[in-house]
Amino acid sequence: MTSAHPADDIRIFHKECVSLAKAGLEVFLVATNTEDQKKDGVNIIAVDIPKKGRWTRMLFTSKAVYNKALQLNADIYHFHDPELLRFALKLKKKGKIVIYDAHEDVPKQILDKYWIPGFARKLVAKFFMKYEMYISRRISGVVSVTEIICNRFNTVNSNVEMIANYPLLEEAKTLDNLFEYKQSEQICYVGALFEKRGVKELVESMEYCNARLVLAGTFSPPEFEAEVQALEGWRKVNYLGQINRNEILNVLKSSHVGIVTLHPTSSYQEALPIKMFEYMAAGIPVIASDFPLWRTILENENCGICVDPLNPREIGEAIEYLLVHSEMAAEMGANGKKAFQNKYNWEQEEMKLINFYKRLTSAL
């Protein structure tokens, strides 16, 4: 069940749903603004929501998704969005196995939400954490993406499983780009485009390197987009807007370096950003924020450089270093791809998900 993600979401559909269907389960994905269809063994069930907006989604879309899912009378209900927490206990009381997929640390994210008044964020975050933990204590199990988030839920539920959001091995087979990226001065960032993602500093870093930045994603809020496009470095940006998965793969395939210089917020410092592993899967070196967790991965695998994400000059100089030292960049890219193939891929996580389901359903 999802009220916020698209029906073709990489984690929800292409990874979890498809993997569970391949394992022999009858899988239904209830999602909004799609159409009823069966794809890759998964039954997609559409919930038509004519009105969009954050508050509409939280108050009304979530209820429509719940009602549609309830009609299926499934044995297991696996939901992905915080606004669906309010229906979890209702499903549990009906004798259902209920799984919360907490693939974000929402209480820490709340502290960075620009649309929540600054003075209220700590209070809202504290209230939500208590509510989230209250529900999680009473449902069947919790899935999350990092050890830190899992450890928090382990204090209230004995059935918690870390299912990291690593890229698919099959998809990465199309990303053999070592020849192309050696010839390219293109770097890329693909993802949400708002202040805490380091987009402004990245564009400013273009003044300190001879690179061309491909930027893909949606800006939020519009005022931030105008601010970034007014920067001097914007003249060296190729802005693609929101693009589909095949287009993303083409961007990765033709880029020399992948950038993930998120700001040092508490939620980001403890996260494992999917884009970092997508860059590794593409065989390109990574320039990432100098967070302890991220630094450990990049240094252990020798597949990238860590920088101060708030320092445009340092970001730009790191980009220029990898452009100039192309042989070292190629070696880092190859190291990252090898690490992805050996450990940081979805197929390693797939069996953990299937075994988690088996454990929860053993009493059925």
Q: Identify the weakest region by mean pLDDT among 21-30, 79-88, 176-185, 232-241.
A: 176-185
* Domain range for 286: 169-342
Domain membership flag for residue 227? yes
Q: Write the CA distances from 246 to 29, 249, 251, 293, integer angstroms.
A: 22, 5, 9, 30
Tens of pLDDT along 271-295?
Answer: 899 999 999 999 999 999 999 999 9
Q: Identify the weakest region by mean pLDDT among 42-51, 76-85, 226-235, 331-340.
A: 42-51
Beta carbons within 8 Å of 240's beta carbon, 6+ residues apart? 214, 215, 216, 247, 251
Domain membership flag for residue 3? no
Tens of pLDDT along 312-341?
Answer: 999 999 999 999 999 999 999 999 999 999
Query: Average pLDDT for residues 225-236, to the nearest whole number?
Result: 97
Please give the pLDDT value at position 117: 83
| Residue 363 pLDDT grade (very low, low, confident, very high; cuts 50, 70, 90) | low
Domain membership flag for residue 64? yes
The candidate with the shortest Cα–Cα distance to 98, out of 70, 58, 63, 119, is 70
Beta carbons within 8 Å of 363's beta carbon, 6+ residues apart? none
16 and 155 in a common domain: yes
160 and 243 in a common domain: no
173 and 45 in a common domain: no
Give the pTM.
0.86
Average pLDDT taken over every residue of the chain: 92
Q: Identify the weakest region by mean pLDDT among 27-41, 169-183, 311-325.
A: 169-183
Query: Average pLDDT for residues 2-16, to the nearest whole number?
Result: 93
Please give the pLDDT value at position 176: 63
Please give the pLDDT value at position 57: 64
Query: Which CATH number characterizes residue 330's domain?
Result: 3.40.50.2000
Please give the pLDDT value at position 179: 42
Q: Specify the length of the chain in residues.
A: 364
Distance CA 153, CA 141 (A): 9
DSSP string spanning 62-103? HHHHHHHHHHT--SEEEE--GGGGGGHHHHHHTT-EEEEEE-
Would the pLDDT of 177 be above 80? Answer: no
Domain membership flag for residue 304? yes
312 and 234 in a common domain: yes
Number of domains in the chain: 2
